Amino acid sequence: MQTLFIRGPAVTIRMVLLVIASITLMTVDHRWNSLEIVRSTLSSVVYPLQYTIDLPIQFYYWADEVLSTKRTLLEKNREFEARHLENRVQLQKLDIIEKENDRLRRLLGATPKTTERLLIAEIINVDVDPYRQLIVLNKGGNHDVYQGQPIIDAHGIMGQVVHVNPLSSTAMLITDASHAIPVQIDRTGLRANAFGTGKIDQLELLHLPHNADIETGDMLITSGLGGVFPPNYPVAAITRVERTAGEPFATIEATPLAQLDKSREVLLVWRNIPQPVILHTEDNKEKAASSETEATATDSGTADTTTETDDEKPQESNKPAAEEDNSE
Amino acid sequence: MSKTLRVGLITVIAAFMLAIMPLPDWAVEFRPDWVTLVLIYWVLAFPSYIGVGMAWLAGLLLDVSYGTLIGQHAIGMVLVIYVVHIQHQLLRVASLLQQAIVIFFLLLIKQLLTLWVDGMLGREPDNWLYFMPTITSTILWPWLYLILRDLQRKFSKVKPYQY
């Protein structure tokens, strides 16, 4: 039955309750970031819509593939083969270098380098808040995507996953105004933080003094500090360095190397955190000790052990690790 | 009745899709507030079926699809729909222009609320285009109203209130 006059107070009370609920939700979401369950539940309602919106665009790509002629395909194939060969040749060299590096690291007793696992995800073409740099990916919790997972493309770091839903996930690009990424200048090793500016093609390096050794054209790579991004991935190239007298810090701008607004596919990265070094069977004792120090000691502790082994190395560089054990 | 409600649901879903549909870069800032507009229409048409609860839910869904804080769109949505709801008898008899003016101010308040939350998070936008959706929504309202009314009349056997 339709009533002509709606009971006023009931509606008002409901409104007040809902406003309070909204404010509570916002506070909880912002302060404790603990509403991921709510978010992923609601997103399963939204996902079909996002999927539907994306369908025509996927259809376009599909049609483009299906309708391309044999000749273009052949041409493409030939081009890829050539590039593949080139890459293979370069990889051979890299392979040897990596093996050598591994061996050297083992000699030094340093932890092995982290290895990474990759998965290709496609960007779902939907718009999000126009004032933030977010993208929606078609891989989610069902594919082991986790919050804070780095995403990259063929050219460099793109960003990190901020919300994980069962079938999709939302990622923040490095240029988002609330994003910062620890970087390092690959020429000098100078460490800094690259902050997003909200513009898709611009990063900012804040709090670097005037005398910092940094030039236009320098490459920024991830430093691996902070534990979110894997080290040594390219991030950006410096485009502008301005040292205004009277300002406490230099103004430094950079352009991301990843194609943030053009990529269709991105790579999700899983880092395999290496186990403490396992050298040889004989030096179990040392292994236990070193893993203990790694687990408990502070930076200075680990630094001590490495310098120790460092000092010993030159004299007995060819001897196996058992010698090392004895000398300790 | 159920048929009309189904039409209502379909239009709301369509509004959602328009809200997340990818637009060219120059146009994203002009995107009208589709979901709020469509909800306002259905609240005016069926105030005893659709109210602040629905609006809140729609707001939460918008928050999730936009990646904003949960509750950021919902709070504005609830307030707008509340005002429309308690004043629906007045708004119904108003002319399209008068309706548009009221909706302009309601959406402006909603946008200011969102801006306020963004400001508290330290990511306020730095240009006036932020208020563009309010203007485009207002311009769009009369047309949307007529389209939705035709749809509603076409699919309902029982005539709703005559106005």
- Give the pLDDT score at B121: 82
Residues of chain A with C-beta less than 8 angstroms from the C-beta of B125? 131, 198
- Choose from A7, A17, A26, A133 for mutation: most chain B CBs within 10 A: A26
What is residue B57's predicted lDDT score, i.e. its pLDDT?
Answer: 93
Condensed to tens digits (0 to 9), the pLDDT of residues A167-209 reads 889 999 999 888 999 999 988 888 999 999 888 888 998 888 8
Q: Give mean pLDDT, residues A221-234.
A: 87
| pTM for the whole structure | 0.76
pLDDT: is A161 or A300 the higher one? A161
Tell me how close the Cα of A44 comes to any Cα of chain B, in angstroms: 10
Q: Which of A2, A15, A26 sits opposite B72 (nearest CB)?
A: A26
Q: In the predicted model, what is the mean pLDDT of chain B?
A: 87
Measured over the CA atoms of residue A274, residue A279, residue A284 and residue A287, the dihedral's sign is negative
**Cross-chain Cβ contact B51/A11 below 8 Å:** yes
Nearest-by-CA chain A residue for B130: A131
Chain A's closest residue to B16, CA to CA, is A49
Q: Average pLDDT of A113-138?
A: 84
Of residues A14, A23, A126, nearest to B22 (C-beta): A126
pLDDT of residue B140: 93
Band of residue A278 on the pLDDT scale cut at 50, 70, 90:
low
pLDDT at A277: 53
In a mutagenesis test of the B interface, which of A1, A5, A20, A22 is the best target, namely the one with the most B β-carbons within 10 Å? A22
Structure tokens at A260: 């943030």
**A28-32 — which CB contacts under 8 Å span 24+ positions?**
A29/B69, A29/B70, A29/B71, A30/B69, A30/B121
How close, in Å, is residue A287 to chain B by CA atoms?
47
Q: Which residues of B touch A175 (CB under 8 A)?
A: none
Q: Is the pLDDT of residue A4 over 70?
A: no
* Contact partners, residue A300, CB within 8 Å, separation at least 6: none
- Residues of B with Cβ-Cβ distance to A20 under 8 angstroms: none
Q: What are phi and psi of A193, to 5 degrees?
A: -115, 130
User: Which structure tokens are listed for A155?
Assistant: 């050219």
For B84-143, the pLDDT digits (tens) are: 998 888 998 999 999 999 999 999 999 999 889 888 887 777 778 888 999 999 999 999
Nearest to A129 among B16, B67, B71 (CB): B67
By CA distance, what is B68's nearest residue in A? A129
